[in-house]
Structure 1
């Protein structure tokens, strides 16, 4: 059986920190140990005080190397606001908010034997000459320093210590076996920043984001990483000098029409007459004429708009959407001969009593009640039709000394003495004049039916022209024309006596004849 070998400390350095493993093991060999034939125990070895590495001092009472507390020995070891934290074989300068976690690790039997071999090799190597037999510490030992970086998402990683120029080695003490297969150290080791020990003795990540251990300020978001975390700006923001600055997405032309930037986002708007598609970026024309049309009558869709039109007889209001009725009757007085009646979207012409609407739907035609036998004249009366009505003229009777010689003639014979100063004949005539007929105008002509040699004729209105509406104008030796001098408004009945005087100076003969003209002025001008 080979004699037991001295064990040397084992140290490991990682980029984010120094992991020191100290094994204080009670090691016993059994039949399970490969290459050993019987059980045995290691006893506490007597260590050479010259094997203590940098950062350790030899304790002769305990016969072991003990860590030197540089934080107490070196005045102002850490500059500024950094705090000094003593560590195995050295010290670290950390931010005051930094935390240090430790964990345990298990050593296998083979690893323990490898460390014994390393210790023997160190004993066989000559040490440099130093005072009091203690190795001189390296002059380039320095506290850990920390670096920084700048990116779009700035990192708040816990600081990474830089190891000393000469790696410290932890002393070993007597090991002990726990279950026959592993050797577990009786001391804890430190996990690098951002890690903490779990129940199995492994260093696991600390979720600084979930535990509220981060230093991300709103609106930054904490994103966890193994052993660290980063502060990132939320979507729609970019990092500028550790501040989250809104990204104006509208500069990128995502929207087909209008873009509205909002903090951390944006949205698209369409011009009037367009609507957003499902991608919320593009715009399509809206057919406003579908469904509830904005027009009161006719709607025509246009690209991005629409146009309203009205049916015949309507016109657009000022809002260009509502249609209102056009009062055609107020636009012209010539649409209808008599009366114009406005209706929604149209108009119609009406005629007064005694007229019917003509086929042209605008003018009126007279109803001839006499020919149509729709009058109410008595038996013996004569029906005289006028525009818009009729008159019933009674059967003619002559007043004495006149006698009736025909249906419309009365004669006063010259043999009767009283007739010598009267008109020989009175002829009854009837006519109509339209109300407000244009004047002056000729309305009736009269002439002598028989002529005598050497006689001449004169004409006059002998009665019923007090208003002077008529004048009898002689147009020839035996003819005269009745003139309307001014318009007459009806309905009205006028009876005029138109007298023709006959004179013969040679034979000293004179006489007269009268036409008794009854004029019916209609109630309408048509």
Structure 2
């Protein structure tokens, strides 16, 4: 019988337990094979009752499978097969810890992981993974075997003077272990982690033990920091010492210190025993003193007095950076305009006049002075401090703006007409608003919107009576009767063009070009303005044999509308045709 978990777990020690697990399992198999119920488990104790019920219920699902081939063999037991009533499992002889399985109606003993089956094939014994090196402990850990497994514990390292006992570092008694190095005359005394060597006998006062335990004299003069007070000498004696007073003789200018130990200098300046004049300074020296003139004075050997030193004359150019003025016993430095005296009292620092805001706009500090500047769009007035606005619009030589210049503080701005224009990105030129493209015109549905500089026109175009309208701006001639000569001489098509140009445009200015399409090298054209040019503003010019142009040849000083008729006649292979573009 195979299960996902063993039928019984280790409960008793190996040497003393009865063969319970497999015996109870075999009893459950036998009861089920005889057709009895599995209720008998309730009369058995734990774990036998649990093992009995498990094996009895498992046998209920087992059926016997007949072997098709001849010859005796073991019948494998699978789920849904039942053993024959005559099949009786033998009483098992497994010992705990173990597991018991049924194979062909017989109980089979095997061991759990961590155990191995002994040679008697019934008893399980623990595998010592630590001894067989089958553990998984890492470096720095030690393996501890347990029943059926092992444990990895941290490796314990004891410091010097300690030893490991039952996984605990305990003090090592060097005295008991006789690992000390105390010599003869010393007794060993154990301490935590170490030991002491104590003499076996004590020395009297003034003596101490040597390395052999003998009593030797103590030299108090060298072992004590201050055995005698100041002014006395230390003399060592056996077991003690004595202090002997020093005898000192001091030379001129010195006297014995209060403790009588040394000779100290006599400060004649402090004691007032010097002979310096009132205008002199006394300086103490070792064993003597010196009389010096005060700073800024020098001694006059003839007059026997201290006289003032003119530092400005004595050290020209070295005492002050700019102007030096002598004073009694000293001197004074001063600076010229634009400078101030530095903190050292000698050098001169440039004054930053801009800190006082002397300028109307911008101030630049320069050496010993300052300079006022104006921002762009302003000029500096004659007072050198005030800035005045520049009127760029009135002073400009060229045209700053395409339409109108407006002066503002420090600059200027360009303006456009109030209607029909917007300012370009360059801020100088005006860009026409195409009302026809933006849909802001008011032309009716029967009219066509034509954009103009600064406005628009609503125009309607009707074809003459012998023409038909093929687009909003083009008319083509109807087929002429063969008897109508006037019809045949009229233009083949009439096209309406809306043109616009600026006033004061440089003349002559080409405003329109015309030519046949397609054109051939053998073509010849004649172009002219046949109507609307009574004031002579326009003229025509033939560019080549098949291209003509309309020119503005007279200056237009103010906005004005023109409606002119331009006619082009084409001579091609002996035939003359004409086209009439209308200019507006």
TM-score, structure 2 as length reference: 0.37
> Higher relative CO (CA 8 A, sep ≥ 6), structure 1 or 2?
1
TM-score using structure 1 length: 0.40
Query: Structure 1 or 2: larger helix share?
Result: 2
